[in-house]
Amino acid sequence: MNLILLLVIGFLIFIGTYMILSVNLIRIVIGISIFTHAGNLIIMSMGHYGKNMSEPLIGEGNEHFVDPLLQAIVLTAIVIGFAMTAFLLVLVYRTYRVTKEDEIDVLRGDDDNDDE
């Protein structure tokens, strides 16, 4: 199970990196969103405490409790990731409305055809 989770996290980081290195602004925002999902999976993967336990349980004997710290951290990360994605989408939308461009190369202002 840990190998599958590791492969999924690696695949998400690979896809996120590929999308962030894109020229299109929407793909960059989607790549950042995929990175946040990979980060959430990394945090959730830290919840393994024992060899025979599949859930992050705390306790002795017949009384077991779920550790709420990882759940709180992941929930906070989900909310922050959603807020950042919404902010970046509004920023991209406003940039498109003003400049009528959605590619980062055009927005950078590099003019290769200028002869000075």
| pLDDT tens figures, 44-100 | 887 655 556 555 556 676 766 667 788 889 999 999 999 999 999 999 999 999 988
Query: What range defines the domain where residue 71 resides?
Result: 2-49+66-107
Six token digits for residue 31: 């790549």
Total domains in the chain come to 1
Cα 81 to Cα 38: distance, rounded to the nearest angstrom = 11
Dihedral angle sign, alpha carbons of residues 93, 98, 101, 107: negative
In-domain check, residue 93? yes
In-domain check, residue 28? yes
In-domain check, residue 43? yes
From the list 108, 91, 94, 87, the residue with the least C-alpha distance to 36 is: 87
From the list 23, 26, 32, the residue with the least C-alpha distance to 95 is: 26
In-domain check, residue 58? no
Q: What is the CATH number of the domain that holds 76?
A: 1.10.287.3510
Q: pTM here?
A: 0.76
